[in-house]
Chain A
Amino acid sequence: MTLHARLVVTRPAFRLDIELHVGAGEVVALLGPNGAGKTTALRALAGLTGLSEGGHIELDGEPLHTLAVEHRPIGMVFQDYLLFPHLSALDNVAFGPRCRGASKADARRVAAELLDRVGLADKATARPRHLSGGQAQRVALARALAVRPRLLLLDEPLAALDAHTRLSVRSRLRHDLAGFDGATVLVTHDPLDAMVLADRLIVVEHGAIVQQGAPAEVARHPRTDYVARLVGLNLYRGTAAGRQIKVGEVPFNVADPLEGPAFLAFSPAAVALYRTRPDGSPRNLWQGVIEGIERHGDSVRVHLGGPIAAFADITPAALADLDLTPGRQVWVSVKATETHAYPA
C-alpha cells in the first residue's frame, strides 16, 4: 500500500505545493511552523480541501482525489479529536462501520474490539465529556481505525494533551501506529512528537518542502533556521574550501573537508565565551555582543549578536564568573571538532 501525491492548494496569498510518497506501514510526519500548510495538506488528502490545478493523489495505484470525502478509504484523527458529544465512546467508534454499511450489531462488535485494543473497554458507555484527554485521543484513533482505512491521517494528535499525559500517550500512539499496515501521515509542530512517532520527517515551510529525511538525519543536519531551532542547533550557510568554511566574514575550521556552498551546524553547548581574547588553541573565534540571557533547563542560554548570531549554553556559575550582561562585548569560540559541516 503506497501513497503518491502532489498536493497543490492555491489560495489568495498562499500556495501549498508538496510531493508526498508514503510506503505501506510507513509513518511520515509533516513538521513545520504554524501557517506552513501542514493541516491544509492533510485536509487535501482527506478531501476536505479541494486540490488546485496540477494536484493529484494516488493510493495503491488508484486515484483518490476524484473520490468524495465519504468514499475515500481514510481514517482521520482531528486535532481536538471531535468525538461526537451526543454519542457514547462505543457509538463514536461504531459510527464509521455503520456508515459504511455494517449492521448495527457488527459495527458495535468491531467498535468493542477496537476499544478493547486501545485499553478502553470499560469506557464504552462513557460520553466524550467524561473521558480524559488521553482517553479521548485513543477513542479518536479507534474511531479512525474502525473503518479499516488504507491511509491514516493524524492532525496534531498530541497537541491537546498536557505535558504529563503527552509522554505516555505518545509512546502508546507509537505502539498503535506500528500495528497499522497502511500509510500514515501525521502533522505536528512538535519536533519531539515527530521524532518519536515518524519513520521519516518532511519539513514544510511556506507551503513547500524544505527538508526531508530520517529523524536522526534531519536532527543532525538541519537545512533551515526553523529546523535548526527545532532541534536546538546553531546553523549557518557559508562557502567551504577544504577544511575551512567562511560564514560572512568569520572563517571556521571544520573537521570534515568540503567544497562550495555548505551548512555549518553546532550545538549551543559547544560554544565558549570569554571576557578577554583567549590564548592558545581555539581557532573559530569572533567577537559578539550579548543580546539577551534566559534560563534554559539547567543551563543559561546566551543570545549573541555581532558578525554572526548564535546561541551559547553556559552554566549559571560561568555566567556569574564572567559577569555577563546584555550589551557587553565577549569573545566567542567553537572547537572545530564540535562542528558539523555538510553540503548545502
Chain B
Amino acid sequence: MTTTTSTAPARRRDRDPGQGAVTGRLPWVLLVPALLGLGFLVLPLAGLLVRAPWSTLGTRLAEPQVLEALRLSLVTATLATAVCLLLGVPLAWLLARVTFPGRRLVRALVTVPLVLPPVVGGVALLLVFGRRGLAGQWLEAAFGITLPFTTVGVVVAEAFVAMPFLVISVEGALRAADQRFEEAAATLGASRLVIFRRVTLPLVAPGIVAGAVLCWARALGEFGATITFAGNFPGRTQTMPLAVYLALETEPEAAIVLSLVLLAVSVIILAGLRDRWVTAP
C-alpha cells in the first residue's frame, strides 16, 4: 500500500502532515532547489554566529550605548503593541462582525502598511504628523505636542507598521470563532458590548496573543519608518535596528553583537509561537 487514503481523515492532523502523502523516490528537480533555498535562508544566520566576537560579547553587551538602544527598543515596541491592541482589536472586530458599505475597501486599506515600504510609511507619517503636517500643526497648536524625532514618534512609527499584523491575526481568529456562542449570549440578554467583553474576547484570546507577539516582533525590528519619522538620536529614538545599521559603518563587531541580540529575540518568539505559526495546519 503506497497511500493512506481518506480512511483516517483528520487523524493527528496537527502533528503529522505527512499522512496521506505519496511515498516513492524524491524527484531531484524539487529536492535540489529545496535544499538551496534552505541553505540560502539558514547560512546568513550561521554566518552571524560564526563571526560573532564571542570572547568580547559580555563587555560589548554591557556597553551603555547598547543597553540604551536595547531598553529603548523594548519600551517602544511594547508601547506600540499596547497602542495596536487598544485600536487594532476593535478594528478587527469591526471588520469581522459588522457589515457596512466599503468594508472590503477598509480591509484592503488596513493591510496597506504590510506591503508599503516602511520608508514611505515614515514619509507619510511626517506629512501628517510633522510640525507642518495636517494633524501635526493642530497637535502642536492645541496641546504643544510634537511627534517627529521624539520617543513617542518612534512608538507611532512602529505602531503604524505593526498594527496590520495584529488586525489580520485577530480578524482571522474572530472569523474562525463560532459566532453561535455570541448568539447564545444574546438570547441570555447580553448586549453587543457585553458579548464582546465576556464571550468574544475570551474565545479569541489565543489569536490576540499570537497577533500581539507578532506585532511586537515587527515593532522591535522596525527600521525604515522609524529613521524617517523619528530620526536617529541615541537614547531618544535610536532603537536596536538603527544602532545596528549605524554600528556597521563604525564598529562592525558591535553591529554583529546587536544583531545577535535581535536574532535571539526572534528565535525566542518563534519558539513561543511554534504551535501556532511554525507547524503547518
Contacts and interface: CB of A to CB of B under 8 A. Distances in A.
B209 to A, nearest CB: 14
Contact of A147 (B188, B191, B194, B203): B188
A89 to B, nearest CB: 15
A221 interface: no
Given A82-B180, A82-B181, A84-B181, A69 B202 contact: no
Contact of B189 (A70, A84, A86, A153): A70
B58 to A, nearest CB: 45
A84 B199 contact: yes
B186 A78 contact: no
A69 B185 CA distance: 10
B187 A48 contact: yes
Given A85-B203, A86-B203, A75 B187 contact: yes
A78 B180 contact: yes
Given A48-B183, A82-B181, A147 B199 contact: no
Nearest to B186: A69
Interface stretch (A95-103, A179-187, A333-341): A95-103
A96 B203 contact: no
The dominant DSSP class at the A interface is mixed
B108 to A, nearest CB: 28
Contact of A100 (B180, B189, B199): B189
B203 A48 contact: no
A70 B180 contact: no
Contacts of B187: 46-48, 69-70, 72, 74-76, 144, 153
Interface in B195-219: 198-199, 202-203
A237 interface: no
A206 to B, nearest CB: 25
Interface string A27-57: 0000000000000000000111000000000
The dominant DSSP class at the B interface is helix
B190 interface: yes
Contacts of A146: 188
Nearest to A96: B188
Interface in B236-281: none
A256 B184 CA distance: 51
Interface string B80-112: 000000000000000000000000000000000
A48 B188 contact: no
Given A82-B178, A146-B188, 6 more contacts: A75-B187, A82-B183, A84-B202, A86-B203, A95-B185, A99-B190
Nearest to A93: B188
B188 A95 contact: yes
Contacts of B199: 84
A70 B184 contact: no
Contacts of A144: 187-188
B223 to A, nearest CB: 39
A96 B181 CA distance: 13
A277 interface: no
A74 B184 CA distance: 11
Most buried by A among B189, B198, B199: B189
B190 A70 contact: yes
A70 B191 contact: yes
A75 B185 CA distance: 11
Contact of A86 (B183, B194, B202): B202
Contacts of B190: 70, 95, 99
A301 interface: no
Most buried by A among B186, B188, B189: B188
Contacts of A70: 186-191
Interface in A52-81: 69-72, 74-76, 78
B175 to A, nearest CB: 18
Interface in A145-171: 146-147, 153
A138 interface: no
A99 B203 contact: no
Contacts of A71: 189
Interface in A191-214: none
A108 interface: no
Contacts of A78: 180, 183-184
